[in-house]
Amino acid sequence: MLIPQFTIRWLLVLTLICAGVFSIFRAAVLGSPWATGVSIGIVSAGILLLVYAATFAGVWLVSLVSGGRRRRGSKSGQSPFSQGTAMVGGNNDTDKDTPAAAILLE
């Protein structure tokens, strides 16, 4: 469906939140110190969310552009830490005497 479905309750909650925020902004314009602080906090949080969204979009676009240059050995959906053999049965007792560095160097 192309048109999102909004309920009356959701729209009333959104209206209530907007009325509260804009009444705080009005009190800040009239000179209330607490309202000025809260308004600065709300605007700062909004700017911060926009910066986070822009950073995410930039990193996402870079990953799309550089996504064609993957390593030759890795297959899609495979862990980069796997050694090519699957653990069947989950028996890890065979490698207790082998140090971890030797396993990593294999």
Query: What type of residue sits at position 92?
Result: N
The tally of domains found in the chain comes to 1
What is the span of the domain harbouring residue 28? 10-65
Q: Kindly state whether residue 94 falls inside one of the protein's structural domains.
A: no
So what's the pLDDT on residue 66?
A: 86
pLDDT of residue 12: 94
Sequence-distant (6+) residues with CB within 8 A of 28 are 35, 36, 38, 39
Grouped pLDDT means (10 residues each) for the chain, 106 residues: 79 95 96 96 97 96 79 63 62 56 56
pTM of the entire structure? 0.55
